Copies of this chain bind each other. A is one copy, B any other.
């Protein structure tokens, strides 16, 4: 297959490596000439160009730009393509993107390969990044069945665990396990810092250890990423936040009323229910 990749960063570049390795011919597009050159040198792509029209002959296109640029990139593309060309993206939220993109291209299939590292850019691209990692494909009732199937097969060829669901189900699931933890964790840091008694705050900083470190990690991460989650997944995140707030209130009530049996039962439940969430997933 001839495959186009727009955006040759960590995700786009790593897709290029593995798809090329599967025997596809890869056409890369980047805004920077220097990135195109490095993509060729690193053998991430077969061809590279700063001109989006260079993709006029491909069969399938991955849009691997930042989320904010996905639909505008799609608009630039569509005038020049045969209608049977499948276009997909790799954005980490799906409802908003699919809603914007589907009317622009009927052969659009939303996707979210859930792999990554802390690094960015073409130099961070690596082989087998998607192996054993989840790859969620989010068609709607309008998405052509054959296009879904082709994308599923491509994702399987990367070694990913492929899940297919609606954009809404995807967004609610990632709200729970990715976007909610960021807000929960950021609130922890902000609440601690809000302690008015400076002696307490200073001592807390000295005594903080692995428990605080782990619980605060994602809340102390990239602010742009947290903001993007809230902006693009407002509905899913608010649903999770409201469920979380109710749960927190229950815990506060147990402690306030000294309902120790109820608190113990809750903590026994959370100890038991955590393992199904952490069954050897790849980091993302």
Contact indicator per residue, chain A 155-189, by CB within 8 Å of chain B (1) or not (0): 00000010101000110111011101111111111
Q: How far is the CA of A263 from the CA of B232 in the complex (A)?
A: 14
Complex partner residue of A274 from B189, B245, B250, B274, CB under 8 angstroms: B189
Contact indicator per residue, chain A 259-284, by CB within 8 Å of chain B (1) or not (0): 01001101111110111111101111
Residues from chain B with Cβ under 8 Å of A205 in the complex: 177, 276-277, 279
Q: Give the contact stretch, choosing among A14-22, A97-105, A193-201.
A: A193-201
Q: How far is the CA of A194 from the CA of B243 in the complex (A)?
A: 8
Q: How far is the CA of A207 from the CA of B163 in the complex (A)?
A: 9
Q: How far is the CA of A275 from the CA of B220 in the complex (A)?
A: 8
Taking a contact as CB atoms under 8 Å apart, the answer to whether B212 and A215 are in contact is no
A248 at the interface (CB under 8 A from B): yes
Taking a contact as CB atoms under 8 Å apart, the answer to whether B247 and A190 are in contact is yes
Label chain A's interface by main secondary structure: helix
Q: Give the contact stretch, choosing among A26-34, A55-63, A223-231.
A: A223-231
* Integer count of this chain's copies in the complex: 2
Q: How far is the CA of A40 from the CA of B257 in the complex (A)?
A: 46
Q: Mind listing 16 A-B residue pairs with CB under 8 Å?
A: A170-B203, A177-B205, A177-B207, A181-B215, A184-B188, A186-B266, A204-B277, A211-B217, A214-B214, A215-B218, A219-B270, A227-B264, A237-B255, A238-B256, A245-B248, A245-B249
Besides A180-B191, A181-B212, 16 other A-B contacts (C-beta < 8 A): A170-B203, A173-B204, A180-B188, A187-B244, A191-B247, A193-B269, A207-B281, A209-B283, A210-B284, A215-B217, A216-B278, A220-B271, A238-B256, A242-B252, A245-B248, A245-B252
